[in-house]
Chains A and B, each alone.
Chain A
Amino acid sequence: MNDASRAQILNRLHAATKQQPVEAPEAAGLPGEAFSRDEKIEKLKSLMEAVRTEVHVVGAPNWTALFKEILIKRDVKTLLYAPDTTLGDRLQKAWVTESNELPELVTYDGQIEDFKEKLFATDAAITSTVGGIAETGAVILWPDKNEPRLMSLVPPIHIAVLEAEKIYNTFSEAIQTENWSDKMPTNVLLISGPSKTADIELTLAFGVHGPKELIVLIVKD
């Protein structure tokens, strides 16, 4: 059935487009503005804050201190993180010093099939990012073996660490500069804020199925 349908559909499509030139050669992209690093930080910050993301700009040495404060304030009991990453490394070092008030560090235990219940009961997760987009206000995640996809979706609090140097002006720039077409990973995510909906009388409400809170730490060198 499938092969026959495939052949019929493609035959019709070929007949429909044969002898016609490919229309509309590539249009020049819309000229995007280029901002300075600080302008990009400011733009991304204000756009993401407008959709209720909590954004902090921190110096590289200080961010773990601020981060701990954030967790304590929210009474986070369990924090999911990725040990085999630079980020994970820093966290582990930071946790060794004082561990009473701090949440328990949890790792993604094996495959999702074995970890699902625990995952759904975790309070917060922290992930790295591969960059940010200033024009629309979003962080870019490339989940991988170390930082699985659901880390940034299931726990009600998601903290994302963004290197200030990696903020692009536009989405197009990110795709082009990093040559995404040659190396698309399993999953790419753009995240602009905590989950939301306006399905009820167009009244905006936050915290639907994705995280209720998104906290972005922009780390400057």
Chain B
Amino acid sequence: MPNDTGPNFQQNASRALNDKQLRKNFKFAMGNFILKRKQIFSDESKTEQLRQIGNDIKRRALSQLPQLLEQLEEKCTQNGIQVHWAETLSEANQHVLRIMQTHRATRLVKGKSMVSEEMGLNDFLQKKGIEARETDLGEFIIQLNNEKPSHIIVPAIHKNKKQIAQIFHEKLSDTPYTEDVEELNAIARETLRKKFFDAQVGLSGVNFAVAETGTLCLIENEGNGRMSTTVPPVHIAVMGLEKVVEKLADVPPLLRLLTGSATGQLITTYVNMITSPRKDGERDGPREVHLIILDNGRSKILSDPQLRQTLQCIRCGTCLNHCPVYTRIGGHAYGFVYPGPIGKILNPQIEGLKKAGELATASSLCEACAEVCPVKIPIPQLLRRLRNESYASDSFSTVKDSGYKKNLIETIAWKSWEMMNTHPLINTIGQKIMSRLGAQIPKIGPLKQWTRHRTAPKFASKSLHQLIDEEGIQDE
């Protein structure tokens, strides 16, 4: 049932399912990612050990989150990094704007940051007359085409070569049409090199923030992140507050898990660890480094011991890659910044269940995501929890709009189901009725949905109970 305040998921999903090109693009890409991950994590028992280490590191960090953030702030400040706190997306945007305006800057280059997508930063800055140029190739492509990312790691994965060639040709001046990947890259390199050169401020995300040393760790393959954080005189880093880790020693295992899970690599081209702005005597690097720590609902998530596991996420995207639902509908259909399994548990908690609760039903609970999550988030378990919250059916509820789905029909249906399955006599009678009349059930409600793609199941004339009675099997 479409809700008033959120995107129409079913409609979006159906549209995506009917888009043959989209499905082809995603099937190809996700199949590739699945293979790559298998190859890079070929030793099963070592991989399981490593995942447990990742899980331990993240749980350790979350269980002391405020202390670590305070330590991070202290160390960063000592090192010359200016720390800002933002409760809401609006506050975060205002921090960025203030820094830009202090420097009278109108040209911003961006390394890739999902938090900045969450903030809607580009649109916000554009309204203030500031150009925020994406420099990650995938982000660059979709920015030219006025689209949002469809994947956490490879934002333009829903586009094929032809589509990208068309975008470059149409949106970049003096650009011939070419489908050659090397040529397309060269065009991006040339165009963006000028932007790096001219930029007044650079913005990035943060993969890991180390409390022990006040160090921001950024990983990338293209070099645009280093360009954005080193060439301009000002660097702004935005991060969700859950990204802090306790110590430097925690970084190597998380790094291995992140690069392996995200792109099937042992290591990315660059690992960039920033501890301070340009020091006396140094000749390059930004003169100012700012760190914006964003809450936007994360502190609330932390307060629930079970749902807190959502915050373990290191944004690798592998749950998307392995999800049979995501593979078929792509990222845009979810209607929120974070798609895929992580999106299904994160968005409802941040946006509330009225807006995003339907996402929690868009899973068959197949466990493919949980099997590969590098930090062992039990996503299906959290989906069940969100489903419980949707009906306010368990003894506690903490998510916004809890109980929004409560309705008489389902309440009665499940109560009847409970009656049937706790009273053997009712069960037997029910079965006898179904075996006789099952075929005549009108195709409405659940049966209507079932029979859109399948024939209705046939109820056996004799139940297993009956057959077993006939065999004379012991009762106890």
Contact = CB atoms under 8 A, between A and B. Distances in A.
Contacts of B55: 24
B66 A10 contact: yes
Contacts of B269: 51, 191-196, 210
Contacts of B63: 17, 20-24
B213 interface: yes
A209 B284 contact: no
Interface stretch (A65-73, A88-96, A123-131, A199-207): A199-207
Interface stretch (A56-64, A97-105, A106-114, A159-167): A106-114
B248 interface: yes
Interface in B56-87: 56-57, 59-60, 62-66, 69-70, 84-87
A22 B58 CA distance: 11
Contacts of B288: none
B424 interface: no
A199 B32 CA distance: 13
B211 to A, nearest CB: 11
A161 B278 CA distance: 24
A34 interface: no
Interface in B195-209: 196-197
Nearest to B224: A209
Nearest to B29: A202
Interface in B20-66: 28-29, 32, 46, 49-50, 52-53, 55-57, 59-60, 62-66
Contacts of A47: 266
A9 B196 contact: no
A148 B285 contact: yes
Contacts of A16: 65, 299, 302-303, 308
A150 B223 contact: no
A54 to B, nearest CB: 15
A181 B248 contact: yes
Contacts of A113: 233
Contacts of A51: 269
A221 B82 CA distance: 44
B267 interface: yes
A25 B247 CA distance: 13
Contacts of B268: 192
Given A116-B197, A199-B136, A186 B50 contact: no
A108 B277 CA distance: 19
Contacts of A193: 269
A144 B275 CA distance: 13
Contact of B270 (A15, A197, A207, A210): A210
A219 interface: no
B135 interface: yes
A209 B193 contact: yes
A191 B270 contact: yes
24 contacts: A2-B84, A9-B241, A9-B293, A14-B66, A16-B65, A17-B65, A20-B63, A23-B59, A24-B63, A115-B283, A133-B267, A136-B266, A148-B284, A149-B285, A171-B251, A180-B213, A186-B278, A190-B270, A198-B221, A199-B136, A200-B161, A205-B185, A208-B188, A208-B222
Interface of A: 1-2, 5-6, 8-10, 12-17, 20-27, 29-30, 47, 51, 108, 110-113, 115-116, 120, 133, 135-138, 143-145, 148-150, 153-154, 170-172, 175-176, 180-181, 184-203, 205, 207-211
Given A10-B69, A116-B231, A208-B185, 19 more contacts: A5-B87, A23-B59, A27-B53, A30-B50, A137-B267, A171-B252, A172-B253, A184-B248, A185-B275, A186-B285, A197-B185, A197-B222, A200-B156, A201-B160, A202-B29, A202-B32, A207-B186, A210-B222, A210-B223
